[in-house]
Structure 1
Amino acid sequence: MSIQFLDMRISQGSTMDAQSLNLVRSSAIFGDIGLQTVNVTPANAGLVRVTLNAFARLSVDVSIIVQNDVTFSIYRNNILIFSTTYPGNINNTTTQYEMVGITAVDYPPSTDVLTGQIQYTIVASAIRTASLGARSFSGIAVAGNG
């Protein structure tokens, strides 16, 4: 069976660094998309693949020497499917600025596919004061093998 395109969605939290999302020792959702799977053929329900991409400009305040981890977590229907941590450099004494690019993939179970929509959410959480500038989250779902 040929590849079946299902959906592509984007979530753009900010187009500029000036509109920052503060993570003062807390967490925040910065992307939320619902990929439509309602048109999947029954033969393809178990063959769905999803590619997820996120970008964020991260600034981390390192003025106090403690661990400065920032964790990015992606959830499918509120179930964690991907997590990565930016450890930072605790020896640096000025604010650090980083461009964070994340690509994750998912093979959702057919039970989720057959509901007609799969919700993907990305969350950033920080142990110290950090913020996200320009940020976006996107996903593409396809089915089949070919």
Structure 2
Amino acid sequence: MNMMSIQFLDMRISQDSAVDIPGINLVRSGAIFGDIGLQTSNVTPANASLVRVTLNAYVRLSVDVSVIVQNDVTFSIYRNNTLIFSTTYPGNINNTVTQYEMVGITAVDFPPASDVLTGQIQYTILASAIRTATLGARSFSGIAVAGNGQ
């Protein structure tokens, strides 16, 4: 049996802010709070189509009171400007005070060999709000490995 080991490619972090203040205000707009370039130039040819990426993000989120519409905050992750993951934190229209939440996100990606063979894959995370919200401490990280371990 031919066993191929898992090949570690790269690990990167983007620490946009280690503290809550000053935050990034989202007022009917979006803000990039993480941008990493995972290096894939050392992938072996046999592993180019077997790359796996794990992405993690953390945000301390404060969502302001909204009396007209639900104040949703959407988190979107892009690979080389292509959306690969999106999730929405639903605001509460009945909320009468600012809500404070800790948001943890884990996403995975199986990038195409054509992206892997360029030598670097760019991952970006964006937060956007329908009304008003603030991003406090925030970080984004990613790990790329290749192989099937069989």
TM-score tier (shorter): over 0.9
Gaps of at least 5 residues in structure 1 are none
State the identity as a percent.
86
Is 1:85 equivalent to 2:91 in the alignment?
no
Pick the aligned partner of 1:97 from 81, 96, 100: 100
Is 1:60 equivalent to 2:60 in the alignment?
no
What residue in structure 2 maps to residue 47 of structure 1? 50
1:25-44 superposed matches below 5 A? 25-44=28-47
* Number of equivalenced pairs: 146
Which AA in structure 2 matches 1:38?
A: S
Which AA in structure 2 matches 1:126?
A: A
Aligned to 2:46, the other structure's residue is in SS state: helix
State the Cα distance separating 1:108 from its structure 2 match: 0.1
State the Cα distance separating 1:65 from its structure 2 match: 3.6
What residue in structure 2 maps to residue 111 of structure 1? 114
Show CA shifts across 1:68-125 (max 9, x none).
Answer: 0000000000000000000121111100000000000000000000000000000000
TM-score calculated relative to the size of structure 1: 0.98
State the Cα distance separating 1:143 from its structure 2 match: 0.1
1:117-128 superposed matches below 5 A? 117-128=120-131
Is 1:141 equivalent to 2:144 in the alignment?
yes
TM-score calculated relative to the size of structure 2: 0.96
Show CA shifts across 1:54-78 (max 9, x none).
Answer: 0000001114342100000000000
